[in-house]
Amino acid sequence: MTGPVGAAPPPDGFGLPGGQPAGARWGSPAPPPVYLRVAFHNVTSIDVHICLSGSEIIQVVPVDGLISVSRNDQEDYVLYNPTPAAQSIPMLPRYVAILFPYDAHRPGFSHPSTTFVQKIIIKVPLRLLT
């Protein structure tokens, strides 16, 4: 495979929350961590992302152990508080990423080379493939 296997460095400014907040000290109460609510879990469909031009980084993390914060059955997704263990997948032209219901993901982060991505996203119902 000549494709984008492996993790890329996270883009600048990309810091997953959940760690010790900046400025916290011993003996002082730590403020509650601030979480992003934008890690997806497709409940009944598989996502296929194909990059046509531009680029992006998609963060992927297994849903096991994630804490859900909301669920939308109509739109078929669950939002999670992500963890720092997410993998960064660089998406360059002609790259394909297939994300299953157990892959929580966060798309749309800038790859260093561009500030946009032209892509196809296909929603494939899971029941067609089982």
Q: Going residue by residue from 90 to 129, which x/- string records binding to another protein, judged by CB under 8 A?
A: ----xxxxxxx--x-xx-xxxx--xxxxxxxxxxxx--xx
Based on the shown chain and the rule CB under 8 A, indicate whether residue 30 belongs to the binding site for another protein.
Answer: no
Residue 112, Ramachandran bin (φ over 0: left; ψ between -120 and 50: alpha; else beta): alpha
Rounded CA gap, 53 and 115, in Å? 11
Q: Give the count of beta carbons closer than 10 Å to the beta carbon of residue 116.
A: 10
Based on the shown chain and the rule CB under 8 A, indicate whether residue 65 belongs to the binding site for another protein.
Answer: no
For residues 52 and 118, the answer to whether their CB atoms sit within 8 Å is yes
Based on the shown chain and the rule CB under 8 A, indicate whether residue 64 belongs to the binding site for another protein.
Answer: no
Site residues (CB under 8 A) for another protein? Answer: 1-5, 11-17, 34, 36-38, 40, 48, 50, 52, 54-57, 60, 62, 70, 72, 75, 77, 79, 89, 94-100, 103, 105-106, 108-111, 114-125, 128-130
